[in-house]
Amino acid sequence: MRKPPNNRVQPKPGFFWQGVLILAPVLVLATLGAWGLWKEQRLAWREAEVRAQELAEHAAGLVWDELESTASSFIQFDQSGRLLSPRPYDEVPAPHPLNEEGLDGQQQLRLWNAARDGSAGRDKGEAAAFYHQFLLGHPPPAFAAVAHFNRGLILEQTGHRPEATQEFMRITNDYSAELSEGGLPLDFLARAHLERGAEFARYALDHPCAMTPDIIGQLSDEPSGNGASLRSSWAEQEQLRSVARAARQFFSTNRPDERDRVSDASAAADRPATTPALFWVTSRQPEPGTNGISETRWLLFRVLHTNGFTLVAQREQQAIETARASIQRVPNKPPWLDFTVTAAGRGLITTNNLSETQYVKGGKGSGQYWKSGIANNDLPLLASARRAEGGVGAGVTVSAMLTSRDLLLFQQKQRAVWFGFLIGAAALASVVGFISARRAFQTQQRLAELPRLLRFV
């Protein structure tokens, strides 16, 4: 018995899954490759950050040490904050009148008045005799010093130079700390009659008073060159005194919990003075020959001693040059990295001083090349390191900046390009294979339909 014919239509075979099998490996390869390149770029960034952190910490130490050691200007204070060097002086001396009540008896008072009246009169010899008798009575040191000086002046004016020299030398040997009634040091005034020229000017420089600028100025035209040297030294001293005055606003002599309990000013003045370890001040001085005021910024380092402290001073430009020199000595600094430096919150090297390097396309026929220039955008921060005294307070901060993303990722970008070519070639081969396979599939389908078509012929 014959079976009835099977008239059920067989489904046509499709090409979808064959196409998936041809194209899927390329898509998977591209996805894995892109993920690998992304991971490689993240790893390059991480390695750059780690290296930048190490170099920034090393650079911060270098800058701190160089700033502290290369300065040539020093301002010394005692524990209470009183200026020791350069020596302070009163620009306008305060009068120092003698109290005649300190004289012993009427005899000393009578001789003192007689000698002073004689000095103002015409009989200088009699005045010198009165001063001599007055000194024989052993008056108080303040009166004795003035008497020796006045007698020396009289003897010098009357032509008795050897005796006058003895009087002035007596002051320098026994009364060097006494003042004249005008408030000037008698030792200074006596040496003006004992020493001459550069020798006395050098003493005036080392023992400044209100007359020192005039003494230094008198040697400005000296042919030996000492005048220029002394004038330069005096200008430097005056500059440092101005810096010391500006630094006093940062002095702290009381602990915060004790300030309200200090009632005795002298006791407060004797408390140990402290300053920040690193800070900036601005000194102001009149400009010679003009009515203007010149301003100079200074970076000050505090160095503690057993008997006080020293402020190591550097001008701002000198500090900037020191910081740049320190950064240049950082070993093995990669070309894609550079540093900014701040000291006590003020920038020594800023991003405006850094150059950004880019891989740019040239004009027609020029190809691509590396170009350095001022950064147009904010540079990425890779790492930052800080160095301060005891790790607290104001200090030096070094920030590691990425100055060339192209240089950092140059090799990674080259690998990405080669991988792109590889994926493109694989994709092209897959598409060609996909088209060839689809054509072959369609041809096979047509051949398979021929017997069925022939049955209807």
Q: Taking a C-beta distance cutoff of 8 angstroms, is the pair 300, 251 a contact? A: no
Structure tokens at 156: 């010098």
Q: Judging by DSSP bridges, how do beta strands 395-402 and 346-349 pair with one another?
A: unpaired
- Can you give the pLDDT at residue 102? 81
- Can you give the pLDDT at residue 221? 57
Could you give the angle at which helices 105-120 and 141-157 cross, rounded to 10 degrees?
Answer: 30
Q: List, for residues 36-83, the tens digit of each pLDDT value.
A: 666 666 777 788 888 989 999 999 999 999 988 887 789 999 988 899
- Please state the domain count of the chain: 2
Q: Are residues 361 and 433 in the same domain?
A: no
**Distance separating alpha carbons of residues 41 and 35, to the nearest angstrom:** 10
Structure tokens at 3: 């079976």
Give 70's DSSP letter. Answer: S
Q: How confident is the model at residue 435 (pLDDT cuts 50, 70, 90)?
A: confident
Q: Are residues 397 and 326 in the same domain?
A: yes
**Distance separating alpha carbons of residues 176 and 187, to the nearest angstrom:** 5
Evaluate whether residue 100 is within a structural domain: no
- Can you give the pLDDT at residue 240? 92
Q: Are residues 324 and 338 in the same domain?
A: yes
Evaluate whether residue 437 is within a structural domain: yes
Q: What is the mean pLDDT of the chain?
A: 79
Q: Are residues 323 and 399 in the same domain?
A: yes
| Average pLDDT rounded to a whole number, residues 333-344 | 89
Q: Are residues 416 and 402 in the same domain?
A: no
**Distance separating alpha carbons of residues 375 and 344, to the nearest angstrom:** 25
Q: Are residues 321 and 403 in the same domain?
A: yes
Q: Are residues 422 and 382 in the same domain?
A: no
Evaluate whether residue 86 is within a structural domain: no
**Distance separating alpha carbons of residues 56 and 51, to the nearest angstrom:** 9
Evaluate whether residue 257 is within a structural domain: no
pTM, two decimals, is 0.70
Q: Are residues 331 and 398 in the same domain?
A: yes
Cα–chain center distance at 130: 62
- Can you give the pLDDT at residue 170? 92
Evaluate whether residue 334 is within a structural domain: yes
Q: Are residues 323 and 377 in the same domain?
A: yes
- Can you give the pLDDT at residue 267? 45
- Can you give the length of the chain in residues? 457
From residue 34, alpha-carbon distances to 85, 151, 349, 409 in Å are 68, 102, 39, 15
Strands lying side by side in the sheet with 83-85: 83-85, 73-78, 308-315, 293-305, 278-286
Q: List, for residues 183-236, the tens digit of each pLDDT value.
A: 999 999 999 899 887 788 888 889 998 888 888 887 655 555 667 788 888 889
Give 99's DSSP letter. Answer: -
- Can you give the pLDDT at residue 259? 37
| Share of residues in the chain with pLDDT > 90 (%) | 24
N-terminal to C-terminal alpha carbon distance within the chain:
29
Q: List, for residues 402-420, the tens digit of each pLDDT value.
A: 888 777 666 556 666 666 6
Q: Taking a C-beta distance cutoff of 8 angstroms, is the pair 211, 204 a contact? A: yes
- Can you give the pLDDT at residue 418? 63
- Can you give the pLDDT at residue 260? 36
Collapse the DSSP code of 309 into the 3-class scheme (helix H, G, I; strand E, B; otherwise coil) and give the result: strand
- Can you give the pLDDT at residue 111? 86
- Can you give the pLDDT at residue 224? 57
Structure tokens at 118: 């004689």
**Distance separating alpha carbons of residues 271 and 250, to the nearest angstrom:** 15
CA atoms within 13 Å, Cβ hemisphere of 390: 8
Evaluate whether residue 325 is within a structural domain: yes
Structure tokens at 201: 């000017």
**Distance separating alpha carbons of residues 114 and 111, to the nearest angstrom:** 5
Q: Is the confidence at residue 283, as pLDDT, over 70?
A: yes
| Average pLDDT rounded to a whole number, residues 385-393 | 82
Evaluate whether residue 101 is within a structural domain: no
Q: Are residues 394 and 416 in the same domain?
A: no
From residue 81, alpha-carbon distances to 142, 252, 270 in Å are 29, 9, 9
Q: Is the confidence at residue 456, as pLDDT, over 70?
A: no
**Distance separating alpha carbons of residues 234 and 212, to the nearest angstrom:** 9
Q: How confident is the model at residue 358 (pLDDT cuts 50, 70, 90)?
A: low
Q: Are residues 386 and 417 in the same domain?
A: no
Q: Are residues 383 and 322 in the same domain?
A: yes
| Average pLDDT rounded to a whole number, residues 292-308 | 87
Burial 275-292 (b: 16+ CB within 10 A, else e): bbbbbbbebeeeeeeeee
Collapse the DSSP code of 109 into the 3-class scheme (helix H, G, I; strand E, B; otherwise coil) and give the result: helix
- Can you give the pLDDT at residue 255? 46
**Distance separating alpha carbons of residues 231 and 11, to the nearest angstrom:** 111
Q: How confident is the model at residue 122 (pLDDT cuts 50, 70, 90)?
A: low
Domain that holds residue 451: 25-46+411-455
Q: How confident is the model at residue 436 (pLDDT cuts 50, 70, 90)?
A: confident
Q: Is the confidence at residue 376, as pLDDT, over 70?
A: no
- Can you give the pLDDT at residue 134? 87
Q: List, for residues 310-332, the tens digit of each pLDDT value.
A: 999 999 999 999 999 999 999 98
Any idea which of 43-47, 73-77, 253-257, 286-290 has the lowest mean pLDDT? 253-257
Q: How confident is the model at residue 257 (pLDDT cuts 50, 70, 90)?
A: very low
Q: How confident is the model at residue 367 (pLDDT cuts 50, 70, 90)?
A: low
Evaluate whether residue 355 is within a structural domain: yes
